[in-house]
Amino acid sequence: MFNYNLKLSLKSMRRNPIMTGLMVAAIAVGIGISMTTLTVYYMMNGNPIPEKSDVLFAVTLDNWNPIRPFDDDRPERAPHQVTFHDAERLLAIGKGKRQTAMFESSLIIEPIDDEGLPFEAGARVTSADFFVMFNVPFIYGSGWDKSADAAAEPMVVLTKGLNERLFGGEDSVGNWLTMQGTRFLVTGVIDTWEPTPRFFDPINGGFQEINEMFIPYSLTRVLELTSAGSDWGWKSEEINSFEEWLNSEAVWVQYFVELESTRERDDYLVHLDAYVEEQKRLGRFERPLNNNIYDVMEWMDYHEVVANDAKILLGLSFLFLVVCLLSTIALMLTKFVGKKSEISLRRALGASRKVIFNQQIVEVAVIGFSGGLIGLSLAALGLQGIEYLYDAPAGLVKLDWVMMFTAIGIAIVSSMIAGLYPAWRVCQIPPAAQLKTQ
């Protein structure tokens, strides 16, 4: 019966090619637009590290101005980054299962041979636990040891792209790299790693490419590394040396901790409070105790990683889909007027209402499926357009399997909804009415 219905719907679609074309086009455009915006939203709203998002926490401490909060609009919030020296001390105490501090910087890589030119590369200055905590995949080698952190040894982990540029993609572990006069030992090369959004640093952009290399946090003092990300300060402090800058109240370091159980979380908050109480005795942290930890998804919400424009477009494009469906219903209803005589004949020849209804629904589904397929290609095109318009890293927004099935699903379900009423109207046609005259 299904095959027969399929055949009938194809015939029916051919009988009225303009109407059919309009219906398919309406659904295709509706799906194309709404899938484009839904994919962008889904990408922005996605969980970048689903396997660990509930055990990784960003840490905030309130070292801000005693007379005004960090964020006037949200006075309950502590600054979203911590000071260099607080991060350093929390790392040394190491109370969590794992912890890491980090900031963005950049270094000049000097040429390996005589022909090359020096160039600047972005670096994430971080500590040993980073790679294990965030499940970073390696092609060669691994991260550095904690001992390298402690001794401030110049070591570097390269991304696949930078390793390609410097060593032609070969296993470079054990090689040396000169950056700003210091020789760094390559300990590992990571594989393609694109957590989206870039959850560990939404402050400097949730959809940037990750930095090209990773070096130990403890090198900051030795090499006088400065942050390429944003920094915030409130206190007028006299700063006449790099050391004084590192010891200032300016916040520019992101701090993450891994905690597995509720108990560990509670203990960690107690530990943070104890740390701040101790600092209070030294005259710092003049605001009331306000230490917080945020898991990955809370941290994404905190930074409103999903752009308002993406939400507006999502809302408007679903209204657009509604218009497309209204068009489809109107066109289908109109089309059914033209089918009256055939339907009443089929009813007379023994087709029950249910059979006729099914026949219409199959036709509707065929139209929905075709519209959905075309809509998918439109969405793929739309996403390329969006990458171009927003200057996003290539391949940042793409239609994965989930999105493709969602698109076809939405196309079929919504055209079914659009087709239900017309189909119901069609099967109300009495078997006799149209038989006598034509």
Partner 1 sequence: MGLGPMMSSLMRSKTGPLLVALQIAVTLAIVINSLYIVVQRVERINRDPGLDVDNVIIAYVRGFGENFDVVDSITNDIILIKSIPGVVAATVSDHVPLSGSGSGTGLRTVPDETIEPVSTGYYRWGEEGLDALGIELSRGRNFFPEEVNYILPASDPPTPPSVLVTQNLADDLFGEEDALGKTVYWGNMEPSTIVGIIGHLHGSWVTWDKLAHVVIQPGKPANTTNKYIIRVEPGMRDGLMPIIEQKLGESNRQRVVKSVRSLEEMAARSYRRDRGMAIILSIVISLLIGLTALVIVGLSSFHVTQRTKQIGIRRALGARRGDIINEFLLENWLITTVGAVLGIILTAFVAYWLEVSFELTRLDWRYLPAGIVILWVLSTLAAIEPARRAASVSPAVATRSG
Partner 2 sequence: MLSMHNIAKVYRTESIETHALREFSLFVDEGEFVSVTGPSGSGKTTFLNIAGLLEESTVGIYELDGRDVSSLNDRDRSRLRNEKIGFIFQSFNLIPDLNLFENVDVPLRYRRLSSGDRKQRVERALESVGLASRMKHLPEQLSGGQQQRVAIARALVGEPRLLLADEPTGNLDSAMADQVMKFLEQIHADGTTIVMVTHDPDLANRAERNIHLIDGRVSGEELVHSQEEVSQTVGFNGDQPLAAKI
- For partner 1, the closer of residues 274 and 323 by Cβ is 323
Backbone angles phi, psi at 288, to 5 degrees: -60, 155
The only residue of 4, 119, 405, 421 in contact with partner 2, by rule CB under 8 A: 4
Please tell me whether residue 417 binds partner 2 under the rule CB under 8 A.
no
- For partner 1, the closer of residues 85 and 425 by Cβ is 425
Residue 433 C-beta: closest distance to partner 2, Å = 9
Residues in the interface with partner 1 (CB under 8 A) total 60
Map the footprint of partner 1 across residues 358-377, applying CB under 8 A: none
**8 Å CB contact between 414 and 318:** no
Contact string (CB under 8 A) for partner 1, positions 126-165, x = contact: ----------------------------------------
Residue 353 C-beta: closest distance to partner 2, Å = 5
Please tell me whether residue 3 binds partner 1 under the rule CB under 8 A.
no
Map the footprint of partner 2 across residues 354-413, applying CB under 8 A: 354-355
Please tell me whether residue 437 binds partner 2 under the rule CB under 8 A.
yes
The only residue of 108, 151, 381, 435 in contact with partner 2, by rule CB under 8 A: 435
The only residue of 6, 10, 49, 110 in contact with partner 1, by rule CB under 8 A: 110
The only residue of 1, 14, 147, 241 in contact with partner 1, by rule CB under 8 A: 241
Q: Which does 350 bind (CB under 5 to 8 A by kind): partner 1, partner 2, none?
A: partner 2
The only residue of 170, 244, 301, 400 in contact with partner 1, by rule CB under 8 A: 244
Please tell me whether residue 283 binds partner 1 under the rule CB under 8 A.
no
Q: Which does 176 bind (CB under 5 to 8 A by kind): partner 2, partner 1, none?
A: none
- For partner 2, the closer of residues 316 and 345 by Cβ is 345
Task: Name the site residues for partner 2 (rule: CB under 8 A).
Answer: 1, 4, 11, 14-15, 341-342, 345-355, 430-432, 435-438
